[in-house]
Amino acid sequence: MSTPREQRQSTRIQPFVVRCRVLVDGRTALSAYVTDLSTSGTQVRSDREPPPPGTKLVLDIALGRGTGRSRLPGELKWCRAPEAAGERYVFGVEFTGLTDAERAALETALAEFQRRVALLS
């Protein structure tokens, strides 16, 4: 399986741990956890093997408290298989074709997270 290369050009929130569903062809392919988030993509962890890199998918996720679920389209870019017992598959998703509303929901969630972190500092 491919390994990640750092090419991120947008601010990333890590850790950002939220349950999600990975949908392929409109059906749930697997349940997983988002572990970091930016406006350009996300890192996801799952107990089950994800589809191969290049697969078009949709992440079904609640981005914040009191918000509805968002369905964010993307492409699986890389995957790292577990190397030891108890580890999970880790894979990267690049968001593609986001609507203005989807991008705004992402930006709002990231801004809220950063606001909360600032309050703790």
Q: Which residue has the higher pLDDT, 71 or 5?
A: 71
Q: State in words which class domain 18-120 has.
A: mainly beta
The string of pLDDT tens digits covering residues 62-121 is: 887 766 789 999 999 999 999 999 899 999 999 999 999 999 888 888 888 878 778 887
- DSSP annotation string for 47-79: SSPPPPTT-EEEEEEE-STT--EEEEEEEEEEE
Average pLDDT over residues 29-55: 94
- Indicate the helix (H) or strand (E) that contains 106: helix 100-120
Read off the pTM: 0.83
4-8, 34-38, 75-79, 87-91 — which is least confidently predicted? 4-8
Query: Would you list the domain boundaries of the chain?
Result: 18-120
Report the Cα–Cα distance between both ends of the chain, in Å, rounded: 39
Residue 39 · residue 107 · CB < 8 Å: yes
